[in-house]
Structure 1
């Protein structure tokens, strides 16, 4: 890397070279049968160079020195053709990094056999616990990544690590009722995935779904499951924390630092070092040290997150939230592990206190939410009716509103926390909201 940086410095005022080596192992199930296994590996190198405030980017699917030199030359040509970016300040300087977490090298050498065994066990358990259900889909996967980021200002950081995940989708067919797809999952930094727990939770939801209950227009308490929370918040709320949106005046949170935007039970932060985090990185995509960034504390908005570019445009410092897109090579503001702090009572206890309400396992349509104002309109499916402290059946209904109004109605969070490897990894409890208006279907 040192030779490559010296070569690139002859062509640029400043330059960054980022090498990503990855290995992915997967196995899939479809209709109770193992449908596919695979192992993929490769390397990607991204060159980002600046000459006279002109940016040049190049990507090559290799880490071989000769190929990387060609990419450097290509980036230099691109920089000459591009317009000047008068907002550009500089690439980041070296920072103080936390001690690297010890990688689990078992994941680096994982084979499909271990994943196939998990899926076969899941199929067998599912059929034993609920013969009327079909394992319609599912997947196990292990990912391993090594990333090395070097720039001409002295940044030189290497990280490696991996994670494993497992999920199944069940569809129940009983007494002329076909349930919607019911998901459950687990993700960790090791291969000790909770196959039995995943199957047990999924089967329970299938059994609830056999009893279909009508819904009506009303105002009720609702408990959001991890999938529902991760889907809605990722689209309606999280983008508003971006410093880029603050600069561009497209966030509803401008001028709201220090104000209440949620109820006291909501504390939200981005923490790559959380014990449940599946990617505990010490540096972001451009080599800036990562840290815990509190976004909402007991309902109060605490501030925005930044990458290097937009932080310098605004006159502040990066929070270590530069995320690299390996498709384009560019950096944008993103998150590592978004955590909603958990509470003291179990989901079971929370349900037992509801006379009439719902538990929502998933939302459809969350991607259409508007982060510029927080408005959303989604379909709750699957949703489960709660009567006198017990789940009595499944239902479908519409929920529309504003995410900030909804957050102020949060009344409790469960002690359980679940890792959701969604668009952004989220670690979330079950969240109870009061007075949620629904439209029956």
Structure 2
């Protein structure tokens, strides 16, 4: 398939699949999902090259009779492969007696939103190009300092589309693409091993590798000579963009998802209209941002993605839903249906049942630079530059977290003094947002989704 035609081709096969399903058993209603992705990927790890170039394609079918639901999936997007899934899903629904009380049918058609702005230059990127870019980052990092001993790179480019339709008249498709590059560096001095990473990702332009290797190498090197904090205290912590993004994603980013709200595992489920953060904190999930990596015209069940204001001036305004959890909560979908919800790693969407996830989580910038946030600290504080170990395993249902920051620096007297040996930081995600002491103006896209500025928190326990 070609980029220009991929939506039309998927929609044509989708229509064929739905007609077949209806002829097979008119007493059921059906939803068919098709996924097609052209993926090129290249990794270099200590001289070992791993390259992949190919198509990921598959289909998923849900069949429903009343409140009984069957799910099946198969690789491939041909009419014959869809028929395999239709028959299996129908067999499942005919064989089960359990009912889902929350299920009220598939969704009705609505006007779609817009796709992301896509640079067609990405279409021409091949594995050889990706390897070339990776080697450039490696060479750049190694030229910085002889202590740079380990360098690895990952580069990828992908484009494709998905189509989704049901027997209620909905048939929608959306295209997107992206390219991503990253470099990981380890600097070794004596017994010290210090690491740093840099990356770039975009859908509307080619990624930029220039300077990434050098920046990562310099960040790793300046961590040498780390000293113990030699303290156990409650003190301010300044989380740079990537670290702050991990905090937001795993805390409030999970707490506002429809499943957690409906099942009452979120501490926020009864907090609409309440103050949940400092007045300067604003959070949105924008599935229509023109350069958003999660932007599509429709979500994974065919409803339009949209811009959702979650927190406005510290006040919780809304939750995020697909149609299933939205109906259970008594509201409409917010366009946040997803198939699989990875924070890291890969998920093959057609193999996953529907869920709720963010599309373009973003914290609005504040007014201060990073240097101004540092200088605003009275006394001692800790600067955390990378996502701390354990943050992605924290429990958003309680909000409690205890993490280890390996890339950390002491702030004292309004200035960054020196690198620190690993420190433990513990606190509560939601209370932390209420104790925000400063928000940076340095918004940056994180490699796992959210756009976030640096955030200065007060009141966490720090041990080092």
TM-score by length of 2: 0.89
| Per-residue Cα deviation, 1:317-361 (whole angstroms, up to 9, x for no partner) | 111111113364311111111101112333234334446322212
Change (3 A) 1:102 1:183: closer
Aligned to 2:21: 8
Distance in structure 1 (CA, Å) of the matches to 2:421 and 2:153:
24
Distance in structure 1 (CA, Å) of the matches to 2:159 and 2:443:
24
Unaligned runs of 5+ in 1: none
- Structure 2 residue 288 is the aligned partner of structure 1 residue 273: yes
Change (3 A) 1:245 1:362: closer
- Structure 2 residue 410 is the aligned partner of structure 1 residue 395: no
Tell me the CA shift for residue 97 of structure 1: 1.9
Tell me the CA shift for residue 230 of structure 1: 3.0
Contact 1:57/1:329, CA 8 A, preserved across alignment: no
Distance in structure 2 (CA, Å) of the matches to 1:392 and 1:170:
20
Change (3 A) 1:353 1:129: farther
- Structure 2 residue 443 is the aligned partner of structure 1 residue 417: yes
**2:272 match: secondary structure:** coil
Task: State which of 34, 49, 52 in structure 2 corresponds to 1:38.
Answer: 52
- Structure 2 residue 220 is the aligned partner of structure 1 residue 206: yes
Aligned to 2:402: 377
Task: State which of 57, 64, 87 in structure 2 corresponds to 1:73.
Answer: 87
Task: State which of 190, 208, 230 in structure 2 corresponds to 1:194.
Answer: 208
Task: State which of 337, 342, 352 in structure 2 corresponds to 1:329.
Answer: 352
Task: State which of 239, 242, 250 in structure 1 corresponds to 2:257.
Answer: 242
Unaligned runs of 5+ in 2: 1-13, 341-348
Aligned to 1:154: 169
Distance in structure 1 (CA, Å) of the matches to 2:352 and 2:330:
24
Tell me the CA shift for residue 17 of structure 1: 0.9
Distance in structure 2 (CA, Å) of the matches to 1:298 and 1:130:
45
- Structure 2 residue 234 is the aligned partner of structure 1 residue 219: yes
| Per-residue Cα deviation, 1:150-206 (whole angstroms, up to 9, x for no partner) | 1111211111111111111111112x1423321221111155323234334323321
Q: Pick which of 128-137 and 345-354 moved more.
A: 345-354
Aligned to 1:362: 387
Tell me the CA shift for residue 76 of structure 1: 0.5
Tell me the CA shift for residue 367 of structure 1: 3.0
Distance in structure 1 (CA, Å) of the matches to 2:197 and 2:117:
31
| Per-residue Cα deviation, 1:103-130 (whole angstroms, up to 9, x for no partner) | 3222233201222222111112111222
Contact 2:58/2:350, CA 8 A, preserved across alignment: no
Distance in structure 1 (CA, Å) of the matches to 2:140 and 2:417:
23
| Per-residue Cα deviation, 1:338-390 (whole angstroms, up to 9, x for no partner) | 10111233323433444632221221112332211211111111112234413
Q: Pick which of 132-141 and 195-204 moved more.
A: 195-204
**2:106 match: secondary structure:** coil
Contact 2:29/2:166, CA 8 A, preserved across alignment: yes
Distance in structure 2 (CA, Å) of the matches to 1:201 and 1:261:
36
Contact 2:68/2:99, CA 8 A, preserved across alignment: yes
Tell me the CA shift for residue 257 of structure 1: 0.8
Tell me the CA shift for residue 247 of structure 1: 2.1
Distance in structure 1 (CA, Å) of the matches to 2:331 and 2:215:
45
Change (3 A) 1:382 1:194: same
Q: Pick which of 358-367 and 176-185 moved more.
A: 176-185
Distance in structure 1 (CA, Å) of the matches to 2:277 and 2:153:
35
Q: Pick which of 94-103 and 57-66 moved more.
A: 94-103
Tell me the CA shift for residue 144 of structure 1: 1.6
Distance in structure 2 (CA, Å) of the matches to 1:263 and 1:269:
15
Task: State which of 420, 432, 438 in structure 2 corresponds to 1:406.
Answer: 432
Contact 1:188/1:278, CA 8 A, preserved across alignment: yes
Tell me the CA shift for residue 102 of structure 1: 4.2
- Structure 2 residue 455 is the aligned partner of structure 1 residue 426: no
